[in-house]
C-alpha cells in the first residue's frame, strides 16, 4: 500500500510544472467530490430544511444583497 509519505516524496521529485498540474487535478477531484456529496444530500432530503428556510426568508423579504453580506462579512 502506498502511504501519504510515499506520495509526498514522489511529489517533491516532480518538476514544478508537474506539481502545478497535479495540484490542479487534485482541486478538480475535490470539486467533483464536493459536487457529488451536495447532489447526494439534495436527493436524500438532507438539505430540505435549509431550502425551506431560504424560501421562507425570500417570501418575507428577509434577505440582504450579496454585496452587503460580503462587505460586512
- Three-state SS for 22-73 is HHHHHHHHHHHHHHHHHHHHHHHCCCHHHHHHHHHHHHCCCCCCHHHHHHHC
**Which grid cell is 17?**
510544472
Split at pLDDT 50, 70, 90, the class of 73 is low
Number of domains in the chain: 1
The 10s digit of each residue's pLDDT in 8-34 is: 999 999 999 999 999 999 999 999 999
Tally of CA atoms within 13 A in the half-sphere of 1 that contains its CB: 2
Instruction: Calculate what percentage of the chain has a pLDDT beyond 70.
Output: 99
Range of the domain at 37: 4-72
Amino acid at each position: 500500500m502506498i502511504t501519504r509519505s510515499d506520495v509526498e516524496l514522489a511529489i517533491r521529485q516532480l518538476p514544478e510544472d508537474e506539481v502545478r498540474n497535479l495540484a490542479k487535478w487534485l482541486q478538480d477531484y475535490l470539486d467533483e467530490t464536493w459536487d457529488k456529496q451536495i447532489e447526494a444530500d439534495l436527493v436524500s432530503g438532507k438539505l430540505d430544511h435549509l431550502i425551506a428556510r431560504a424560501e421562507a426568508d425570500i417570501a418575507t423579504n428577509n434577505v440582504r444583497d450579496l454585496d452587503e453580506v460580503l462587505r460586512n462579512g
